Amino acid sequence: MVYFELFFSFMKIGFTSFGGMSMIPLILEEMQAHHWMSAQELADLVAIAEMTPGPLGINCATFAGTQAAGISGGLAAVAGVLTPAYTLAILTALCFQKVQKSELMVTVMEFVKPVCIGMVFGVMVTLGKETWLTDGRVDLFGMGIGALMFVLLTRRKWSVPKVIAASAACGILVYGLPVREWLCIQSIFP
């Protein structure tokens, strides 16, 4: 019974929120209404969910469901929070199948593709400023690592996981191990 309650609670959260921090009040309301968590436990949950990789909503659903009903509860909560996204994706795919060859859709896609490329380029520039500029100076090592990984990805056809691992290894060699961050992770997961 608790698994269905978790599923439907998080499905409701998924349909009525817009992801990220907007989910927190809804999660708090559901957790307290069902007596699954206190406000303090939820605050701890949000802190952990923010630190772990992945979307906040999925992380919160995982932790809250696990706290309420173990691993099966975590799975039920995650399935619930993902149901709205899957539903919309399936409906969009079905609609797109019907109109993808229409003249209007071809015209729209001619404009959407360059806009998406521009957005990705904008993000690259913004992140590049944060990553490759240190105290107003260009970080040549960082740019070199980025260029090397680009070559390995495009010319040598390395897989993305290999490139990520190689980037991490190069970063540790050049900049050293981020001891402060490592100690924070160790204190959370002993």
Contact 70, 93 (CB under 8 A): no
Q: Where are the domains of the chain?
A: 2-99, 103-188
Question: Taken in order 64, 66, 67, 69, is the CA torsion positive or negative?
Answer: positive
Residue 127's pLDDT band (cuts 50, 70, 90):
confident
pLDDT digits (tens, 9 = 90+) for 140-185: 888 899 899 999 999 999 998 999 899 989 988 888 876 555 555 4
First to last CA, the chain: 33
**Tokens (6 digits) for 160:** 């993305």
Phi, psi of 138 (to 5 degrees): -75, 130
| Nearest-angstrom CA–CA distance, 92 and 79 | 19
Check pLDDT > 60 for residue 115.
yes
Q: Residue length, the chain?
A: 190
Mean pLDDT along residues 48-65: 84
pLDDT of residue 23: 82
- Report the candidate in 13, 11, 8 with the shortest Cα–Cα distance to residue 23: 13
**Contacts with 57 (C-beta within 8 Å, 6 or more apart), sequence order:** 13, 14, 17, 19, 20, 23, 81
Q: Where is mean pLDDT largest: 43-52, 74-83, 113-122?
A: 74-83
| Nearest-angstrom CA–CA distance, 187 and 79 | 30
pLDDT of residue 178: 66
pLDDT of residue 175: 81
Higher-scoring residue by pLDDT: 110, 46: 110
